[in-house]
Structure 1
Amino acid sequence: MASSRQHLDALTGLRFLAAAHVVAYHVYHLVFTGAEAPPGLHGLLDSGYVGVSFFFVLSGFILGYNYLERPPDTHAARKAFWVARFARVYPVYALGLAVAAPAFLKGLRDVWAVDPSQASRQAEALVLAPLLLQSWTPWTALAWNAAGWSLAVEAVFYAAFPFLAGRLGRLGPRKLAVGAAVAYGAALLLPALYMLVDPDHTGGTASAYNSGPWMLALRFNPLARLPEFILGILAGRFFLLRAGEAPRSRPVLLAVLGGLVVAALLGSTSLPFPLLHNGLLAPVFAALIVLLPRSRGAVARVLASRPLRLLGEASYALYILHMPVLFAWKSVLKRLGAEPTSAWAVAAYVVGVVCLSVLAYERVEKPARGWIRDLWTGRAEQPATGLQPRA
């Protein structure tokens, strides 16, 4: 493969920033409940869900980058691909379920005492979540470990990728542009229809913490999010087509793209929530993902630095573990009679969850990945890490 590992180091660091934005979003809403930061900062903290859209685009790009030149188009290759994906994501995902289980089961017990019918619906997650199926029903999507909903969506992406790769990997520049436009239009079609019809009767007030069943289905259903992933694959194909070109520094273009993202996040409360949640910024993310690895500017160098690379590698564990750890930490603080909004409590949580994510990456994710792939395939047949293409 023509590409080399260092081309993607900056994306590894960027993964950490996206995951940190998601963490800040949940700390803002689950710790500082009822408080509201100044308008710009509020918009930034209130838009952490956009990071998941970034991860969907990045996932498509990385898989495209790794596999489009040699798509998994045989039974053996598809099996190796799926085993590699399972080995990559499931061990830490299972760890997240284990850490979240006490709070989830206690919550089920409390809900059962008040509304047994609602508790029984949420209890479906006991079966669906371990099978990565919880995002197919609105009432279980956020159950157990809420962050896991996106892994249920990614599972569908992984299942579909071998069948998409053969087609998308042959597209030339013109068809790529058409495909990207179609994918982007498809991403925004359902949110636009939702806004037009308003089936939940929200009057335009839908938000991440004020969603009816139709909005929940729109946000979490894997098919509604598939276009963002396809857009990422197309970005990966475009990147491969230009792999032979000399790296260029495009500081102005990168600054414009970064500025667009920051401006959208700061002003997120003025943008339609359904569109912003479901891929409004996906083309901007795709452009950043394509340009950043080929940049030699200061931002790319910082993102590719060793500390940010390590944090980026641990960002998946951070994403999966940050909510159950937050609930556990709040429970500890309650027992101690401490205030969760105090500076020391928030700092202790942030430092602790980041350190725990690095530990989970080193002691759970990496070794388990090797054990699973060796057990199922006997040898490492395909790249599993997503950011380290192999020859």
Structure 2
Amino acid sequence: MSGPRPPQAHPPVTPLPALTALRFVAAALVLAFHYAGAFFADAAVPAPIRLGYSGVTFFFLLSGFILAYTYRAVDLRDRAARVRFRWARVARVMPVYLLALVLALPWFVSWVAKSAPPLQGLMAASAVLAPLGLHAWVPGAACALDCPSWSVSVELFFYALFPALLPLVLGAPGRIARLTLGAWIVLTGGAGLAFAHYAPGVSLIGPEAGGPGPVLLAQAIKYNPLLRLPEFVAGLLLYVAWTRRRIPTAALLGSAAVAAFGLVAAAPILPEALLHNGLTALAWAPLILAGAQIRSGPLVAPAFVFLGRISFALYLIHVPAYALVNSLDRIALGGRLAAAPWLGAGLATALSFALSLALHLGLEEPARRRILRWAARRGEPHPVSERSATIRQDETLPASGRSAASG
């Protein structure tokens, strides 16, 4: 039985399928960043892939943009509307998220066992904190259990604030923009200065060489939800800007390309904290605006849109997939894949795609429908997900760190 047919949680919105396809681009960039660090020497990694962690900034911006677009006409001061919004988020995010944590457990146990205090205790805490979505708040725990899951923890914080943030942004976008920019400069700039002082010469992206202190400080900077909040608010503001003035798509795409080229070229001299925590929005923001306007071409092709739909599962499963390939290589092949990095990366990528497809079709969609029907039977109005906005958008994704195990 299909269950009751309850009312929608928000007015219908026009689909934005190109943004769904762009989700896959960002997820693939994160995967390439992690696999490049896992399989190839640093010197062999192309400069754009070195900035692959910036796919996280794309997802945080997209989250704000899509949620504002979807809920712009909903009065979230109403308790029932807030309940519907929360059920929509639970149904969208939690099934695949929790299963990804379970699949990563064998390697998590191994990594914790091999670690030394104080990292060992903090990493072990992730077993409790990650299922609750709280691990991004605790350095050491944030990246221990399926590292990409830290961004879900951050997103849950964004969701908690969204009902209060949306009316503020819609009501006073100029003031909120100034406050957000100021907060980003103070928080991110201060964090970068602190890291340079306490971990001189150590990379924020790969702090492991500096020891436990730099690792914990780097995680506090890269994963803390408060430090990432400006990116989400920027996404809300991006939606407001889009409603007030439509810039030609070609101009937006050109701006995104110029900004991307400039960021890649200047990356060696720019502070890593700024790059990691939002500066790449200079390229992602015009791309999102362009994607919101595109109605034809490759980005709206059904195959590309479908890849975007499975991108959440791809994002969360690609690190366990790498760990499985690496373990099988050591057990069955004696580590021979180290001499064939392209083969190792290809096998891990193929496994990631196969698992993400299975998770999307076998768990993500069926579980979402069951949760929504269950909420309807409890008497809650139907907490419709934001499928109508991007045909299967996601506000999560991201990952950071230099290797598949650390980021």
Per the normalisation by structure 1, the TM-score is: 0.87
Residues 336 and 365 of structure 1, relative CA distance in 2, 3 Å threshold: same
Q: Contact between 2:256 and 2:283, CA under 8 Å: does it hold in 1?
A: yes
> Which residue of structure 1 lines up, in the alignment, with residue 62 of structure 2?
58
Where does 1:340-359 land on structure 2 (aligned, <5 Å)? 340=338, 341-359=340-358
Q: Is the counterpart of residue 36 in structure 1 residue 43 in structure 2?
A: yes
Q: Percent identity?
A: 32
Distance 2:44 2:390 in 1: 42
SS at structure 2 position matched to 1:339: helix
**What amino acid sits opposite 1:169 in the alignment?**
L
What is the deviation of 1:198? 4.0
Counterparts in 2 of 1:96-107, with a 5 A limit?
96-107=100-111
Aligned partners of 1:152 and 1:2: how far apart in 2?
28
Cross-structure match for 2:231: 228
In structure 2, the residue corresponding to 1:235 is in which secondary structure? helix
Matched with 2:14 is 4
Mapped partners of 2:203, 2:289: distance in 1? 32
Paired residue for 2:337? Answer: 339
Seen in structure 2, the aligned counterparts of structure 1 residues 255 and 189 have a Cα distance that, compared at 3 Å, is same
Say if 2:78 is the partner of 1:74: yes
Give the aligned residue type for 1:9: P
Which amino acid is 1:219 matched to? K
Letter of the 2:89 partner, please give it: R
What stretches of structure 1 move > 6 A for 4+ residues in a row?
A: none
Q: Deviations over 1:94-140 (max 9, x none)?
A: 111111001111222233xxx35542221111110100000111111
Larger mean CA deviation between 66-75 and 272-281 belongs to 66-75
Q: Deviations over 1:135-187 (max 9, x none)?
A: 1111111011100011000000001101112222334xxxx344334323322
Secondary structure, aligned partner of 1:72:
coil
1:308 is aligned to 304
CA distance in 2, matches of 1:26, 1:152: 20
TM superposition shift of 1:293: 2.0
Shift of 1:213: 2.8
CA gap 1:250/1:109 in 2 versus in 1, 3 angstroms = closer
* Partner residue, 1:152: 153
**Mapping 1:290-301, distance limit 5 Å:** 290-295=289-294, 301=297
Distance 1:79 1:197 in 2: 40
Q: Which of 183, 186, 190 is the matching residue for 1:189?
A: 186
1:166 has 2:163 as partner: no
Q: In the aligned structure 2, how far is the partner of 1:188 from the partner of 1:377?
A: 44
Hey, what's the Cα distance between the residues in 2 that align with 1:108 and 1:191? Answer: 30
Matched residues in 2 for 1:152 and 1:98: separation? 16
Structure 1 residues 343 and 286: alpha-carbon distance in aligned structure 2, compared to 1, 3 A threshold: closer
In 2, distance between residues paired with 1:303 and 1:251?
14
Q: Which residue of 2 aligns with 1:364?
A: 363
- TM-superposed CA distance for 1:20, in Å, is 0.5
Quick one: distance in 2 between partners of 1:386 and 1:269?
A: 39
Task: Pick the aligned partner of 1:218 from 218, 221, 225.
Answer: 221
Shift of 1:355: 2.6
The alignment's TM-score, normalised by the length of structure 2, stands at 0.84
Deviations 1:339-384 (A, max 9, x none): 1444333222212212321221111111111111222343663431
Once the two structures are overlaid, the 10-residue window that deviates more, 141-150 or 343-352, is: 343-352
CA contact (8 A) 2:107 2:323 kept: yes
2:176 aligned to which of 157, 179, 189 = 179
Range moving further from structure 2, 366-375 or 184-193? 184-193
Q: Structure 1 residues 262 and 199, CA, compared in 2 at 3 Å: closer, same or farther? A: closer
Residue 208 of structure 1: aligned partner: 205
1:138 and 1:213 in contact (8 A); partners too = yes
CA distance in 1, matches of 2:331, 2:381: 47
**Is contact 1:44–1:266 with CA below 8 Å preserved after alignment?**
no
Question: Structure 1 residues 380-389 or 222-231, which shifts more?
Answer: 380-389
Give the letter for the 1:339 counterpart. L
- The alignment partner of 1:333 has SS state of helix
Q: What do you get for the CA RMSD once the two structures are aligned?
A: 2.3
In 2, the alpha carbon distance for the partners of 1:374 and 1:165 equals 27
Letter in 2 for 1:213: L
Structure 2 unpaired stretches of 5+: 1-10, 208-213, 392-407
Q: Within 5 A, what are the aligned runs for 1:231-242?
A: 231-241=234-244
Counterpart amino acid of 2:228? R
Distance 2:357 2:185 in 1: 35
Measured in 2, the distance between the counterparts of 1:159 and 1:386 equals: 20
Is it true that 1:137 corresponds to 2:145 in the alignment?
Answer: no
Q: Distance in 1 between matches of 2:390 and 2:114?
A: 47
Deviation at 1:223, TM superposition (A): 0.8
Residues 21, 51 of structure 1: 8 Å contact kept: yes
